[in-house]
């Protein structure tokens, strides 16, 4: 049986898919890739929160799986929304790469004033660190972002360190410690999603890394309780069950944060509810200021 794997056409998405294909090949499983264009790829001049958030990168691939056009799809797991369509399952979670953010800069770090990012979380965390920074929207693939940095549109840009590593890109900059700049839930993790075919899911499950799966499920349990999606500045990070989660105001002036050890998904949900109770006004404010109806 040859598996048809759906992927976006960006260099990063293709690199991640090649990683999965090589792992399958090592297990004696043949596969081929099929590139599918998503709205997130074509609407690069529009802020993500205006076209549906990170989920726009996933929706077209979900539809292709449900239509039987592909068997599975490879995603950055942080792009996968909390709520999934019926019939779509996360068949494998690969061992996590670096969860950290990386600041690439063309001027000395102390002289950075204009930073590019399309993430409300990263913007809020940057402004918390230095309220005088000017944070401008930045969309496009990694190559486009680096080109805009080198052309002088920004003094610095924020990227996921894992993405740079997967693309083999070395660029001057520094890694942000994830304990301080808490990353997006599931950042640094590749997931393979598939339809509910037992033989297919069994094959793909050979790629699964149990410790990473447990950590990302803890993060997703907290995320589901918070219900803020990519609209609310929030960071959630679990490492071997040590959980750090925070919700920020859009301008970074206020933060609600928890740090604790959790052993089960139920415990993670309890912590998520506790944090939501303390941060509900920040979540509501973010939706209001972005002009989005909060269904959570």
Given 41, 62, 71, 79, the catalytic residue: 79
Integer Cα distance of 198 and 161 in angstroms: 34
Query: What is d(CA 129, CA 252) in angstroms, rounded to the nearest whole number?
Result: 8
Q: How far apart are CA 24 and CA 22, in angstroms?
A: 5
79 is catalytic: yes
**Selection from 131, 134, 150 nearest residue 142 by Cα:** 150
For 74, the 3-state DSSP assignment is strand
Q: Are 239 and 231 in contact (CB under 8 A)?
A: no
- d(C-alpha 293, C-alpha 102), whole Å: 32
- Distance (Å) of CA 129 to CA 14, 138, 289, 293, 296: 34, 19, 21, 29, 29
Q: CA 63 to CA 45: how far, in whole Å? A: 24
Q: Is the dihedral of CA 175, 179, 180, 186 positive or negative?
A: positive
Sheet containing strand 31-35, strands side by side: 31-35, 3-7, 72-76, 190-195, 88-93
How far apart (Å, rounded) are the C-alpha atoms in residues 150 and 167?
Answer: 18
The phi-psi region of residue 44 (left if phi > 0; otherwise alpha if psi is between -120 and 50; otherwise beta) is alpha
Confirm if 71 and 63 have CB atoms less than 8 A apart: no
Cα gap 211→238, rounded to integer Å: 10
Catalytic residues: 79
């Amino acid at each position: 049986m040859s598996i048809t794997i759906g992927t976006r056409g960006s260099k990063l998405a293709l690199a991640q898919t090649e990683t999965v294909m090589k792992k399958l090949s090592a297990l004696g499983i043949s596969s081929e890739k099929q590139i599918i264009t998503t709205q997130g790829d074509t609407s690069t001049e529009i802020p993500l929160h205006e076209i549906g958030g990170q989920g726009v990168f996933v929706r077209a691939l979900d539809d292709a799986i449900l239509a039987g056009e592909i068997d599975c799809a490879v995603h950055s797991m942080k792009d996968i929304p909390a709520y999934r369509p019926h019939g779509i399952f996360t068949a494998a979670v690969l061992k996590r790469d670096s969860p950290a953010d990386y600041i690439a800069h063309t001027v000395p770090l102390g002289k950075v004033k204009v930073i590019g990012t399309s993430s409300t979380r990263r913007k809020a965390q940057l402004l918390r660190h230095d309220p005088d920074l000017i944070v401008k929207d930045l969309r496009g693939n990694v190559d486009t972002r680096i080109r805009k940095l080198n052309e002088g549109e920004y003094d610095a840009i924020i990227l996921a360190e894992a993405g740079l590593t997967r693309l083999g890109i070395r660029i001057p900059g520094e890694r942000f410690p994830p304990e301080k700049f808490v990353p997006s839930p599931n950042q640094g993790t590749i997931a393979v999603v598939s339809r509910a075919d037992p033989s297919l899911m069994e094959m793909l499950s050979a790629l699964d890394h149990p410790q990473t799966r447990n950590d990302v499920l803890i993060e997703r349990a907290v995320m589901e309780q918070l219900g803020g999606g990519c609209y609310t500045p929030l960071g959630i990070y679990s490492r071997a069950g040590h959980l750090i989660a925070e919700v920020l105001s859009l301008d970074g002036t206020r933060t609600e944060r928890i740090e604790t050890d959790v052993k089960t998904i139920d415990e993670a949900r309890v912590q998520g509810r506790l944090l939501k109770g303390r941060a509900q006004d920040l979540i509501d404010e973010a939706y209001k200021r972005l002009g989005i109806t909060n269904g959570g």
